[in-house]
Amino acid sequence: MTISGIKGFNDILPGEVEKWQHIEKVARRVFELYGFSEIRVPILEKTELFARSIGDATDIVEKEMYSFVDKGDNRVTMRPEGTAGVMRAFIEHKLHAIDPVTKLYYMGPMFRYERPQKGRYRQFHQIGAEVTGVTNPLVDAQVLTMLCHFFAELGLSEPRLEINSLGCPDCRAAYRGVLREFLHSKMDELCDDCRRRVETNPLRALDCKSSGCKAATSNAPSVLEHLDKGCAEHFAATRHFLEVAGTPYSINHRMVRGLDYYTRTTFELVTGMLGAQSAVAAGGRYDGLVSDLGGPNIPGIGFAMGVERVALLLAEQDFKRSPDLFIAALGEPARDQAFRLMSSLQRIGVSVETDYEGKSLKSQMRRSDKFNARFTLIIGEEELAIGRGFLKSMSAGTQEETPFTVEEIYLKVKGVDENKTC
């Protein structure tokens, strides 16, 4: 009997993995343009870290965490997101003592026990970025501009940026009271979950997918009308700087995030192309998180994107790599020559494929086609005897005579496409 993988945990196979590598490469390139450095933190953290940062009353902490007691009786959790671990590391290694303004990015697997469907998995991958130490809304606009720049570099016109402000703990508490009062007048129309949430987390009712709740809250009071002076100014300045940077956005005052640490600016990059899973990336400001985790009073802002969702948006594109050259060899002596050339060319940056099994010329040519090689070099007995062979350009259909020297072949193969990097 074979053993299958676990539900909601996916394999990323060759053919698809090239798309992931492309996404990761573009993220590194763009983020580094904006001064971000990579940080790598563990997958396993103390459960308490997530309970304290994401919030006890959130779906993630209440229902979705992969938590267990390890052999040393410690309660540990496989990270459901990246921000908490990155901020834990920021505090633990006193990165703020070197410079309170840090710009960090990370990538890797996250785990949430959710009901799997298209774009939603139990092991999924995030690429995220966090900036600490800046209260000025200039940085809110910069983080968002960088995120939009990333999607533009991928050639995607979707997703679109939506922003909101959830205010600070003070004005949010007042808004929560106003919203709770409104929801009390709609109790009959709300679903069971939302009726329960009216007391614990009334904002979640704005995010409920049930049509009854959507209709009941359609004219709910807006958080943006209940921001205090400081939060309203912060939001106005964020909008101003987004406009200065030329980053298009729209306001969604009903946007509620599923994590408790947010303050002021929150945002999502949304698409209509992935069914129910509309958020491709999301994040916001978390000015109280570092101090809540026992660190100094340092603000933060960041985002994370779901790599599976970005990959789905790139679905039509083919990132499969093809070799520069396929060498077809016929007979033992030719195979030695082919292997010598192959090894030398690979060492200087030419990607080369060959046939390992000594098959017929016809079968080797089929293999070259399958690899979609740019060039094919055939070495048979005759070619070996005169020390020259024909290098065929598979796209142009032309062929050129070449001696079996590494330099000549390198120039012919690489010279055709000067922009191609190793």
Cis peptide before 109 (omega within 30 of 0): no
The backbone torsions φ and ψ at residue 38, rounded to the nearest 5 degrees and listed phi first, read -80, 145
CA dist., res. 250 & res. 47, Å (int): 36
Taking CB atoms, the residue at the shortest distance from ligand HAM is 306
In one-letter notation, the amino acid at residue 194 is C
Residue placing its CB nearer to ligand HAM in the complex, 10 or 344 = 10
Residue 136 Cβ vs ligand HAM, minimum distance, rounded to whole Å: 17
Nearer to ligand HAM, 54 or 384 (CB): 54
Query: How far is it, in rounded angstroms, from Cα 127 to Cα 63?
Result: 23
- Between 278 and 346, whose beta carbon lies closer to ligand HAM? 278
Instruction: State how far the Cα of 203 lies from the Cα of 58, in Å rounded to an integer.
Output: 11
CB-wise, 53 or 354, nearer to ligand HAM? 53
The least distance separating ligand HAM from the CB of residue 262, rounded to whole angstroms, comes to: 7
Here the tokens at position 180 are 């709770």
Per CB under 6 A, residues contacting ligand HAM are 81-83, 112, 114, 119-121, 124, 126, 128, 130, 258-259, 279-284, 302-306, 308-309
**Which is nearer to ligand HAM, 310 or 338 (by Cβ)?**
310
Instruction: Identify which of residues 137 and 302 has a Cβ nearer to ligand HAM in the complex.
Output: 302
CA atoms 197, 199, 200, 203: torsion sign: positive
Nearer Cβ to ligand HAM, position 227 or 282?
A: 282
Distance CA 74, CA 50 (A): 14
H helix or E strand, kind and range, residue 95: helix 95-98
Q: What residues pair up with 380 in beta bridges, in sequence order? A: none
H or E segment and range at residue 401? strand 399-403
Answer positive or negative: Cα dihedral of 168, 172, 174, 175: positive
Which residue's CB is nearer to ligand HAM, number 126 or number 364? 126
Residue 311 C-beta: closest distance to ligand HAM, Å: 10
> To the nearest whole angstrom, how small is the minimum distance from the Cβ of residue 108 to ligand HAM?
12
For the CB of residue 123, give the shortest distance to ligand HAM in the complex, in Å. Answer: 8
> Which of residues 45 and 81 has its CB atom nearest to ligand HAM in the complex?
81
The CB-of-344 to ligand HAM minimum distance in angstroms stands at: 44
Concatenate the DSSP letters of all residues of 308-374 into one string. Answer: HHHHHHTTT-------SEEEEE-SHHHHHHHHHHHHHHHHTT--EEE-SS---HHHHHHHHHHHT-S
Nearer of residues 160 and 195 to ligand HAM, judged by Cβ: 160
Given the complex with ligand HAM, which of 139 and 183 has the nearer CB atom?
Answer: 139
CB of 172 to ligand HAM, least distance (A): 17
417: nearest Cα among 322, 318, 316, 319 = 322
Least separation in angstroms between CB 237 and ligand HAM: 19
- Separation of alpha carbons 396 and 204, rounded Å: 59
The whole-angstrom separation of Cα 115 and Cα 113 is 7
The radius of gyration computed from the CA coordinates of the chain, to the nearest angstrom, equals 28
Q: Closest distance between ligand HAM and the C-beta of residue 56, in Å? A: 16
Burial classification of residue 326, based on how many CB atoms lie within 10 Å of its CB (0-12 exposed, 13-18 middle, 19 or more buried)? buried
Least distance between ligand HAM and beta carbon 308 (Å): 5
DSSP state of 117: B
Minimum gap (Å) between residue 249 Cβ and ligand HAM: 16
CB 298 within 8 A of CB 132: yes
